[in-house]
Amino acid sequence: MAKEKLRKVANDSLVKSLEKRKEKNIQQTLNFDSLVKKLHEAIETFPDNRKGTNLSKDFKNAALGGFAIFYTQSPSFLAYQRTMQEMSGQNNAQSLFGITEILSDNHIRKLLDGVAPAYAFSLFSYIFDCLNKSGYLDDQYRSFNNNILIALDGTQYYSSSNVYCDNCNQKHHKNGNITYFHIVVTPVIVKPGSNVAEGQRELA
């Protein structure tokens, strides 16, 4: 009996050790700096469709600024960083994301509007490959019949009665008004009983 208990303790310790090692390997590969580096690489593939001589604003700063807003979930992030730069000569946008010039919201929109989301899909592939090769997905997300389940969730992320593009969906109202909108399907890796989900690239 004592031998079995000792074996169980040893096995439990080994399992915990392996889990920690996997977590450490994931953290070494999937840390913030490595993801920002991959983002910089992805931005290098973005098409810059500007014409003429008005090319003074760095396209990469626009892309990084757009990402920073969504990453921090703060619409006023760049404005705050701009104020910080003016007051102290430094800002977190540069140290965290490598932004060398903080552009206005209008500049960011104008520069990025022509970039299809597919140009950023390589980031999702990179994250998925890292999680898959590390064994994390097998350990945490294998469930029914040893499969990995992907839930699909549709959401509307843009709506306007005045501003629209050629790719907008249209909803025609009885009063003659038209609502222009965009929707997206977001695939997410899930597991029953777990409150943690892993996002995948969206399907527009």
pTM, full prediction: 0.68
Q: Grade residue 54 by pLDDT with cuts at 50, 70 and 90.
A: low
**Whole-angstrom Cα distance, residue 119 to residue 21?**
33
Q: Which of 147, 146, 132, 120 is nearest to 198 (CA)?
A: 132
Q: What is the pLDDT of residues 101-113, one digit of tens each?
A: 888 888 888 888 8
Q: What is residue 17's predicted lDDT score, i.e. its pLDDT?
A: 46
- H helices of the chain, in order, are 2-29, 32-43, 59-72, 77-88, 92-97, 105-112, 121-133, 136-141
Q: What is the pLDDT of residues 21-47, one digit of tens each?
A: 555 566 666 788 888 899 999 999 998
